[in-house]
């Protein structure tokens, strides 16, 4: 009954979304307050209905109701509870349901917290948001219905792919989706504003918190996916330039650009056209990511079931929204007033550079992702575009971006003092220089550019701190004054500090790991030893063990350093019961210096095992950096300035709360 | 039913919530640019704060203020020019049709789509319930009922009888089991296993006494399979039960002589033999065993003669204690039944015989007397019991 | 600077960056893409030794030989032709005889394929799409389980 109720709720949500598209949009056109107001209860009930459907499906998973086709195909009665729950989005239909749930969540959030918006804008935003929901609810119900039933029910399910049975992966999709579906709000704001014909600095302020929230979750979602790939796939790699990774990375790059250009638009009312265009493009990239992942056009470890009907449907959605959005943009852009003026060397100028580089980088990733598909479609020739392509194209674009990153915030709006900024950054240059020397002193291996890469990261980190320090007048004010200033500084300034510092850490981690990773692949017998970056790793033996739904061979490695015991690593090879599929579990010893990472492979004739042992220096900086960026976003989001706007409609004349 | 009530509630609730704004009196909101004004005013404050903090120079602050003031002015003009307060739309001719359309479309279309795509009335089938149901459904009784139904319609289906017989046997329905085996033998022909199983079922039905038809079957097994051991054991036992103790002892001995050292039945035969020793006299050649089992007291390692449970070999493979307990419980069960209803002459015969076989001579005599009391007036029954008494040499 | 000049600087900068990116992309596409071939392609078309390619097909039954240390040799077949492959390293979890596989590396002069990467896909039913398509194009009938239609969910 609960399942059927969920199915009905999903259908009702579709109808509610249709009402939410039509009535408020019409109301805004004829300036009818009552019809516009329909958007709010509609958005809220649409969200609650989809949530009901979602939890009904989850209930079916938890109770292993195999009369639901989706559960039978993707779950198994012996799976641990957490993976039964996570199993809801571990498959195509369920993940589309999660997609629309998050879409509706953002709509409901605008309905609830968007009291500062002009009524017509709010009605139109919710209407556009609902139109996306209509498209995806239709997609879900017509081509990917998770509520199809099976009668008679099979005795047990087919199981969830074991490599997905992992805590990081269980929670990675919700974060990731919150991220890239969240950009739908920016899109809806852009379309609504284009329809409304009024785009000004205030609009940018309203869009920013939503963009920031989406960006935050996308950041942490991508980081979790990378973390999962690192320790679960057993290759010790953390990023593969896989098309599905790119699918989430492109909206992130464009979203980062949007975040920065919206800042310019809010402060200076410049870059209006550009910002609106970016808002449309960012969500279009999210849609394209959904298309790439969901339609099965890819050869990828991430591919879902291939079903041409689905591919065509999502492609139609993509074309409709991207094409429609861009057409509307083309119609309206020329009516927009030109923005304010600024010199090339200025805060705005640096942000324009940031945008140019980020968007160009997005374009290179896009080419690398789509080119193989296009080529195969046109000529039938099959190629693969791997990391070398992206390292050659994406990498060089990041260098000027990172060099410019600490400079921008030190420049004033309108007309910046470049020399002054350089002077203030002198400490950062010094830190970078020290880093180059230090890296050369410690490591002689690796490409000659690597120390400079690490220095670049150090420079970005130092630059972020210097910017903060100059704001609180470290060096020119007393301690009391510094403390006072530090507490008075708006939270968004701390957000910038964290986010930029995180970028620096990320760069250090990426370069260090890529350039100085130590790798050993060898056959080992119990009793044998291998030396990895100063660690002595001794293979003591293999034992067989039984988990809740798998059996495993656990290898035992005693790790010592200069004779002192450091850790025991127990990498294993698991064989899951349903589906019967092997997975590799890595044994990882983490420290600040880096990760010692050991995996075992096949048993070899003669009692040996193939063993891969890595030392990945500073690899944790990658995820730590991403986490700090995420926190920076959160701190910035909590800045009350982002929430300020009109008081609620009932207190029209009330003054804005005093600071 | 509950489902439809919930569906109706859901539709009604959602429809009402969505239509509420349409049914209210319209309120007059402020100008469309009020929100913008609030933002710009806030920006002015930020600039003042930044200036106070010394984050921006006075001249920069001034130019920023001018810029924001210009924006403020523009939106205020816009406000006055185009966005007269939103239409107080009490008389808006669109509201009523929109309201009605919504109120009708939401329930009708959603229900229609659901009926087209959903599976209303299909119950959830969570695994826990299905496991409970499954064990309910697959109860042997139901399966048996099905097979029985088929056999009623096709009594010539020998395979069917062959299939159901061991099931009956496992359920303790030895009478039905024996009957099924008999039919299977008739329809499919003799084979050693079928005959042996038939004999086993009969023996268990008789609480360990080997009846005539079982003996015939066992003899047929020996004809078909001269090396078979199990029929010989039972036949020896039958001799013992008939009172031909010396012959029985001789058979046991010869079986023992032929038995391999590690044969599981060896021990049982030794015990049987030891049990017989005092009664058979001549046959007893093993002093120590004889001492452990004086006549009239139950031996710690019980005799094998009266199994009534699963399979002879299964009983044989039990530990001595288990075997003892098992046999005792069978016999006690029969005694209890006869105590409650003493009119069953055949039952008394079995009980007396079983006691005698178990070596519980006193109990056998007591049972004989009880039988005589209970069977008063049942001439035929009494005659059977007296016959047996004579046969076993139980005095009056 | 006048408004026009400023715009000129902006546009010039933008064009410069885009131009740079375009050059990078073209160079990268020329140098770093890898073509996918089946064993028959290699035999029929002749792929020059030393060119980096991806070889896709099925691991031939009974062809896997584990040699010294971690070097493994096996044959990749599309059921029409087969290519011997040698690989040093740890094979992926799902590497199995009779299953689909993609190896990346170069052909040496003797027609042996030196792989430095071996990919087997993460599902027992799964055959890499390229492999499935290429095999079907060669007229090889695949069992239902080998069809990409059977792909299971992976990371979204």
pLDDT tens-digit readout, B102-123 = 899 999 999 999 998 888 878 8
- pLDDT bucket at C123, cuts 50 / 70 / 90: very low
- pLDDT band at C66; cut points 50, 70, 90: confident
The predicted model gives A162-174 an average pLDDT of 78
> Confidence band (pLDDT; 50, 70, 90) for A364?
very high
Among the ranges given (A180-194, A329-343, A352-366, C75-89), the one the predictor scored with the smallest mean pLDDT: A329-343
**Calpha distance A172→A167 (Å, rounded):** 9
Distance CA A185, CA A128 (A): 9
Predicted local distance difference test score (pLDDT) of residue A366: 93
> Which residues of chain B have a CB within 8 Å of the CB of A10?
none
| Separation of alpha carbons A85 and A578, rounded Å | 17
The tokens 């958005």 sit on which residue? A43
pLDDT at residue B313 greater than cutoff 60: no
Residue contact A412–B37, C-beta within 8 A: no
Whether residues C74 and C18 share a domain: the answer is no
For residues C20 and C50, state if they share a domain: no
Q: Which of B6, B40, B127 lies at the smallest CB-CB distance from A63?
A: B127
| pLDDT surpasses 50 at A650 | no
pLDDT of residue C145: 30
Q: What is the DSSP letter of A655?
A: P
Q: At what angle do helices A2-29 and B95-117 cross, to 10 degrees?
A: 150
CATH assignment of the domain containing C96 = 2.40.50.140
Same domain, C116 and C64: yes
Cβ–Cβ below 8 Å for A382 and C36: yes
C53 and C25 assigned to the same domain: no
- The answer to whether A80 and A159 have CB atoms below 8 angstroms apart is no
| Contact across the interface for A304 and C154, Cβ inside 8 Å | yes
Least confident of A440-454, A536-550, A644-658: A644-658
Residue A192's contacts (CB-CB under 8 Å, 6 or more residues apart) are A121, A124, A125, A127, A128
In a domain, C82, yes or no: yes
The average pLDDT across B56-65 equals: 81
- Say what the pLDDT of residue A643 is: 60
Q: Do B124 and A120 touch (CB under 8 A)?
A: no
Q: What pTM, to 2 d.p., does this model score?
A: 0.74
Q: Are residues C48 and C8 in the same domain?
A: no
Of A91, A521, A581, the CB nearest to C70: A521
Between residues A266 and B289, which one has the greater pLDDT? A266
Counting one residue from chain A and one from chain B, the pairs whose CB atoms sit within 8 A come to: 212
Per the DSSP assignment, residues forming a β-bridge with A385 are C33
Contact: B18, A5; criterion CB under 8 Å:
no
CATH numeric code, B317-396: 1.25.40
- Whole-number Å distance between alpha carbons of A2 and A196: 42
Q: Does residue B302 have a pLDDT over 50? A: no
Model confidence at B335, pLDDT cuts 50, 70, 90, reads confident
Give every CB contact of residue A120 below 8 A, 6+ residues apart in sequence: A28, A31, A36, A196, B32, B86
SS3 A385: strand
With touching defined as 3 or more inter-chain CB pairs under 8 Å, the answer for chains C and B is no
How many structural domains does chain C have?
Answer: 2
Do C27 and C75 sit in the same domain of this protein? no
- Are the beta carbons of A356 and C153 separated by less than 8 Å? no
Q: Are residues C121 and C80 in the same domain?
A: yes
Does residue C26 share a domain with residue C98? no
Query: Would you say residue C147 lies in a domain?
Result: no
Question: Are the beta carbons of B126 and A64 separated by less than 8 Å?
Answer: yes
Per-residue pLDDT band at A302 (split at 50, 70, 90): very low
Q: Are A283 and A183 in contact (CB under 8 A)?
A: yes
- Reported as type and span, the H/E element at residue A419 is helix A418-424
Q: Are strands C52-59 and C71-77 parallel, antiparallel or unpaired?
A: antiparallel
pLDDT in tens, A552-561: 889 999 999 9
Closest residue of A to B86, CA-based?
A: A31
Residue B346 binned pLDDT confidence (cut-offs 50, 70, 90): confident
Q: For residues C95 and A624, give the distance between their C-alpha atoms in angstroms, rounded to a whole number.
A: 34
pLDDT average, residue stretch A514-529: 88
pLDDT tens string A559-593: 999 888 888 999 998 888 766 778 888 899 998 88
For strands A587-590 and C71-77, give the pairing: unpaired
Chain C residues close to A396, C-beta within 8 Å? 20, 24
Instruction: Determine how β-strand C65-66 pairs with β-strand C71-77.
Output: antiparallel
CB contact under 8 A, C153 and A384: no
A249-263, A456-470, A521-535, range with the lowest pLDDT? A521-535
Mutate to test the interface with C, among A602, A612, A614 (most CBs of C within 10 A): A602
Reported confidence tier of residue C152, pLDDT bands at 50, 70, 90: very low
CB within 8 Å of B118: residues ≥ 6 apart: A4, A7, A8, A11, A147
pLDDT of residue C134: 57
User: Rounded distance, CA B241 to CA B287, Å?
Assistant: 23
Helical H segments across A144-200, by residue range: 167-196
Cβ-Cβ contacts under 8 Å between A and C: the total is 182
Looking at the fold, whether C22 and C45 belong to one and the same domain comes out as no
pLDDT in tens, A219-233: 999 999 899 888 877
Q: Do C33 and A582 touch (CB under 8 A)?
A: no
Residue in chain C lying closest to A365 (CA): C25
3-state secondary structure A490-502: CHHHHHHHHHHHH
Q: What residue ranges do the domains of chain B occupy?
A: 317-396
C135 located within any domain: yes
DSSP codes of every residue in A17-61? HHHHHHHHHHHHHTTBHHHHHTHHHHHHHHHHHHHHHHHHHHHHH
For chain A, the straight-line distance linking the first and the last C-alpha, in angstroms and rounded, comes to: 53
State whether residue A213 sits within 8 Å of chain B by CB. no
Question: What phi and psi, each to the nearest 5 degrees, are found at residue A157?
Answer: -85, 175
- pLDDT, residue B282, reads 44
- Average pLDDT (C25-30) is 83
Interface of A with B in 402-431 (CB under 8 A): 412-414
pLDDT at A503: 97
The Cα A512–Cα B217 span in angstroms is 87
Return d(Cα B292, Cα B315) in angstroms, integer.
22
Give the mean pLDDT of A375-385.
78
Q: Supply the DSSP symbol for A149.
A: B
Q: Residue C122 above 50 pLDDT? A: no
Tell me: the pLDDT tens digits for A49-97?
999 999 999 999 998 888 888 888 888 887 788 888 888 988 889 999 9
Q: What is the residue range of C12's domain? A: 1-32
Q: Which of A331-335, A655-659, B136-140, B195-199 has the lowest mean pLDDT?
A: A655-659
DSSP per residue, A549-593: SEEEEEEEEEEEETTEEEEEE--EEEEESSS--EEEE-EEEE-SS
Mean pLDDT of all residues in chain B?
76
Residue among A15, A40, A645 minimizing CB distance to B35:
A645
pLDDT band at residue A213, thresholds of 50, 70 and 90?
very high
Tell whether ipTM is more than 0.85. Answer: no
């Amino acid at each position: 009954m609960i399942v059927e109720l969920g199915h009905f709720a999903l259908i009702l949500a579709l109808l509610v979304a249709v009402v939410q598209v039509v009535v408020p949009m019409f109301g805004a056109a004829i300036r009818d307050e009552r019809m516009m107001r329909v958007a709010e209860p509609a958005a809220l009930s649409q969200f609650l209905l989809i949530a009901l459907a979602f939890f009904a499906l989850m209930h079916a998973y938890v109770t292993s109701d195999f009369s639901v086709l989706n559960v039978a195909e993707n779950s198994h009665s012996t799976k641990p509870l957490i993976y039964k729950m996570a199993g809801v989005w571990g498959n195509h239909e369920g993940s589309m349901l999660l997609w629309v749930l998050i879409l509706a969540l953002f709509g409901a959030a605008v309905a609830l917290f968007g009291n500062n918006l002009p009524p017509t804008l709010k009605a139109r935003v919710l209407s556009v948001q609902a139109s996306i929901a209509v498209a995806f609810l239709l997609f879900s119900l017509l081509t990917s219905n998770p509520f199809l039933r099976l009668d008679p029910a099979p005795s047990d399910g087919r199981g969830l792919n074991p490599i997905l049975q992992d805590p990081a992966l269980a929670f990675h999709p919700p974060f990731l989706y919150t991220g890239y579906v969240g950009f739908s709000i920016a899109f809806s704001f852009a379309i609504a504003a284009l329809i409304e014909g009024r785009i000004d600095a205030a609009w940018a302020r309203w869009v920013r918190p939503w963009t920031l929230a989406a960006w935050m979750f996308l950041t942490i979602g991508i980081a979790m996916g990378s973390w999962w790939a690192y320790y679960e796939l057993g290759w010790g790699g953390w990023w593969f330039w896989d098309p599905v990774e790119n699918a989430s990375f492109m909206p992130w790059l464009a979203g980062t650009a949007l975040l920065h250009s919206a800042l310019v638009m809010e402060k200076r009312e410049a870059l209006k056209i550009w910002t609106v265009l970016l808002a449309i493009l960012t969500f279009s990239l999210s849609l394209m990511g959904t298309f790439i992942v969901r339609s099965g056009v890819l050869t990828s470890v991430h591919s879902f079931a291939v079903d041409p009907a689905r591919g065509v449907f999502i492609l139609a959605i993509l074309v409709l929204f991207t094409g429609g959005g861009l057409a509307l943009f083309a119609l309206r852009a020329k009516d927009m007033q030109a923005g304010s003026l600024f010199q090339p060397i200025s805060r705005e100028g640096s942000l324009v550079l940031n945008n140019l580089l980020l968007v160009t980088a997005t374009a290179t990733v896009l080419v690398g992702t789509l080119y193989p598909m296009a080529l195969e479609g046109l000529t039938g020739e099959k190629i693969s575009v791997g990391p070398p392509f992206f390292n050659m194209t994406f990498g060089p674009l990041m260098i000027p971006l990172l060099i410019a990153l600490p400079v921008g915030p030190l420049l004033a709006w309108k007309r910046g003092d470049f020399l002054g900024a350089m002077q203030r950054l002198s400490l950062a240059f010094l830190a970078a220089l020290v880093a180059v020397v230090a890296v050369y002193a410690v490591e002689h291996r690796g490409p000659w550019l690597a120390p400079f890469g690490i220095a670049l990261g150090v420079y970005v980190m130092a630059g972020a701190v210097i910017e903060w320090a100059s704001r609180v007048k470290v060096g020119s004010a007393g301690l009391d004054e510094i403390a006072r200033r530090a507490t008075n500084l708006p939270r968004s300034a701390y957000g910038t500090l964290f986010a930029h510092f995180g970028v620096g850490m990320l760069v250090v981690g990426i370069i260090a790991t890529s350039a100085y990773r130590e790798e050993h692949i060898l056959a080992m017998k119990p009793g044998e030893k291998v030396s990895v970056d100063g660690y002595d790793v001794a293979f003591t033996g293999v034992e067989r063990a039984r988990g809740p739904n798998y059996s495993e061979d656990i290898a035992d490695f005693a790790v010592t350093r200069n004779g002192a015991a450091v850790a025991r690593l127990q990498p294993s090879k698991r064989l899951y019961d349903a589906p019967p599929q092997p997975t590799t579990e890595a044994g990882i010893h983490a420290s600040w210096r880096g990760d010692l990472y050991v995996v075992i492979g096949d048993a070899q004739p003669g009692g040996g095992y193939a063993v891969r042992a890595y030392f990945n220096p500073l690899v944790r900086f990658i995820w730590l950096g991403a986490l700090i960026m995420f926190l920076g976003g959160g701190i910035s989001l909590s800045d009350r300035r982002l929430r300020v706007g009109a008081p609620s409609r009932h207190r029209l004349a009330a003054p804005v709360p005093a600071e | 039913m509950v489902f439809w009530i919930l569906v109706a509630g859901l539709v009604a609730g959602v429809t009402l919530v969505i239509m509420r704004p349409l049914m209210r009196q319209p309120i007059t909101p402020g100008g469309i640019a009020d929100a913008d004004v609030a933002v710009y005013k806030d920006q002015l404050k930020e600039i003042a704060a930044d200036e106070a903090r010394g984050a921006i120079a006075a001249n920069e602050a001034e130019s920023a203020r001018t810029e924001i003031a210009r924006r403020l002015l523009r939106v205020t003009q816009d406000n006055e020019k185009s966005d007269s307060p939103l239409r107080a739309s009490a008389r808006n001719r669109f509201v009523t049709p929109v309201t009605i359309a919504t109120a009708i479309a939401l329930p009708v279309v959603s229900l229609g789509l659901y009926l087209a795509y959903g599976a209303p009335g299909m119950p959830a089938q969570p695994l826990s319930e299905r496991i409970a149901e499954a064990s309910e459904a697959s109860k042997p009784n139901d399966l048996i009922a099905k097979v029985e139904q088929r056999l009623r319609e096709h009594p010539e289906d020998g395979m069917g009888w062959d299939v159901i017989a061991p099931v009956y046997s496992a359920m303790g329905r030895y009478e039905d089991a024996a009957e099924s085996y008999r039919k299977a033998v008739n329809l499919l022909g003799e084979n050693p296993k079928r005959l042996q199983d038939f004999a086993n079922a009969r023996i268990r039905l008789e609480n360990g006494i080997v009846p005539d038809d079982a003996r015939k079957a066992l003899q047929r097994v020996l004809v078909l399979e001269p090396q078979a051991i199990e029929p010989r054991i039972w036949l020896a036992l039958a001799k013992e039960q008939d009172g031909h103790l010396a012959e029985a002892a001789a058979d046991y001995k010869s079986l023992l002589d032929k038995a391999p050292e590690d044969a599981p039945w060896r021990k049982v035969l030794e015990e049987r033999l030891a049990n017989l020793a005092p009664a058979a006299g001549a046959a007893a050649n093993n002093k120590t065993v004889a001492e452990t089992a004086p006549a009239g007291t139950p031996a710690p390692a019980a005799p094998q003669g009266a199994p009534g449970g699963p399979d002879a070999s299964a009983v044989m493979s039990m530990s001595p204690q288990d075997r003892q307990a098992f046999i005792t419980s069978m016999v006690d069960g029969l005694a209890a039944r006869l105590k409650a209803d003493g009119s069953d002459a055949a039952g008394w015969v079995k009980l007396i015989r079983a006691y005698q076989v178990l070596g519980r001579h006193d109990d056998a005599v007591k049972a004989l007397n009880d039988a005589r009391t209970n069977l008063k007036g049942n001439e035929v029954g009494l005659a059977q019991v007296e016959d047996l008494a004579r046969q076993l040499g139980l005095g009056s | 600077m006048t408004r026009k000049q400023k715009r000129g600087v902006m546009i010039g900068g933008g064009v410069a960056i885009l131009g740079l990116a375009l050059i990078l992309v073209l160079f990268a596409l020329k140098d770093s893409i890898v073509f996918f071939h089946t064993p028959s392609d290699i035999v029929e078309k002749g792929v020059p030794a030393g060119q980096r390619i991806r070889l896709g097909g099925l691991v031939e039954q009974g062809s896997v030989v584990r040699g010294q240390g971690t070097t493994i040799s096996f044959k990749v077949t599309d059921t029409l032709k087969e290519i011997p492959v040698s690989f040093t390293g740890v094979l992926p979890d799902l590497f199995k005889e009779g299953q689909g596989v993609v190896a990346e590396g170069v052909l040496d002069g003797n027609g042996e394929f030196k792989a430095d990467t071996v990919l087997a896909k993460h599902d027992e039913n799964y055959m890499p799409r390229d492999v499935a398509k290429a095999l079907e194009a060669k007229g090889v009938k695949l069992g239902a389980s080998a069809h990409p239609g059977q792909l299971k969910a992976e990371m979204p």
